[in-house]
Amino acid sequence: MKTRGRHDWNRPPDKNPHPDAEGVFACVSLLIVCAIHRDSLIAMDPANWASVSAWFLLIVGIFIANRLGGRFESMLERLHKRNAIDASQDQFDRLLAQTRKRARTAATVGSLVLPMFLLASYIGVYAGEQWQATPRADRMWFIGEVILEVIAARLVGRYAGRGIAYGLFGRQLVKERIKLTLIPGHSDAAAGLRPIGDYYFYQATITALPVLFFAFWVLAMPNWTKIWPASDSDFESQWKNTYLIFFLVTIGIELLTFALPLWFFHQQMSLQKKQMQSRVDELSARLYRLQQSSRDSNQPPDDGADRASLIDQIASLENLPTWPLAPDVRQRFAWGNLAFLASPALQMSQTVLDAVKAAVT
């Protein structure tokens, strides 16, 4: 029986304390970039349009992701209330506290790693002769933009780190020895675990934004520069491979925040379904005996209620789902991801082939 622990569930959820400030920063930065590069944007310069689209995507991401922690904890609460998380209130409160701690640690790490990765990319592209050839006034504007982008990378890194921590939640369940319990016959078509699939689908929507950004520019960059030449003639050659690297990094984050946790829960659900096969055999044997007894003239006729109940129980166990997603949602996401990743993958393979040819010749 569940009892109230020393922790109060009514405390505020673990959420971003400054979503409005982050949104204002992103909007102001977008306006600054648009004002600085107004003429270049009118001329459809790809480098500056890439920057503007990144800022716009950041605004959308902040708007969607600011309730990441709150939605994750709401998912846990729903699972606990329906006994899908088999834990006492004290165990559940400890699990929640550890989850918050891990999420904050991962957010801190992400807020440091991603800005350093961005700075390393800029240094790799602009260090050396190109920096020396840049006029002093342009250097100051450039440094100012990089500072804004580093701050933005810190925000993105924090959300990414938190999402990765939530993606590794299954490992925490194993460590705390807390089990998930399937609910056969549940109307959500996911054995009562639909909140898990709903949350990670929401999280995948957020982490798909940077994947979408880099996938678009990996594909658009070669053709864009042919129609509207960049102000920097070396823009495509300098940034194409860098964008491909960022694309792979964002795909890795997508896997950690969506594919990995769903695979973990799929394995747990498959294991429980396998363990329930003995119950299916037991019910099948009872059904057989009931049907045999109805044919015995010495027994009263069966009204069909027991037989129907046994058939329903067997069907619910035999058809127990092994994914915490509704089948239609799972199918749409699978086909969408395949189409979404196909073009960038082909583009990346062509880039690798070009590099190999260049090395051989």
**Does residue 248 register a pLDDT over 80?**
yes
What is the full DSSP assignment across 215-231? Answer: HHHHHHHHHHHHHS--S
Domain annotation covers residue 144: yes
Domain annotation covers residue 6: no
CA dist 121 and 123 (Å) reads 5
Domain annotation covers residue 7: no
pLDDT digits (tens, 9 = 90+) for 151-206: 999 999 999 999 999 999 999 998 888 988 898 888 888 888 999 999 999 999 99
| Helix (H) and strand (E) counts in the chain | 14, 2
CA dist 40 and 130 (Å) reads 20
Per-residue pLDDT at 307 = 78
Q: What is the mean pLDDT of the chain?
A: 81
Q: Which two tokens stand for residue 158?
A: 């924090």
| Candidate from 63-77, 123-137, 327-341 with smallest mean pLDDT | 327-341
Give the percent of the chain with pLDDT over 90: 39
Please choose, from the candidates 102, 344, 94, 330, the residue with its C-alpha nearest in 3D space to the C-alpha of residue 243.
344
**Does residue 298 register a pLDDT over 80?**
no
**Does residue 251 register a pLDDT over 80?**
yes
* Beta strands 179-180; 85-86: pairing state: antiparallel
Domain annotation covers residue 131: yes
| Candidate from 38-42, 142-146, 244-248, 328-332 with smallest mean pLDDT | 328-332
CA dist 173 and 265 (Å) reads 11
Domain annotation covers residue 2: no
Pick the more confident residue, 290 or 237.
290
Q: At what angle do helices 194-227 and 68-81 cross, to 10 degrees?
A: 150
Range of the domain at 133: 19-360
Q: How confident is the model at residue 294 (pLDDT cuts 50, 70, 90)?
A: low
Counting the structural domains of the chain, the total is 1
Domain annotation covers residue 259: yes
**Does residue 1 register a pLDDT over 50?**
no
Domain annotation covers residue 257: yes
**Does residue 303 register a pLDDT over 80?**
no
CA dist 227 and 57 (Å) reads 24
pTM for this prediction: 0.81
CA dist 88 and 82 (Å) reads 13
Domain annotation covers residue 236: yes
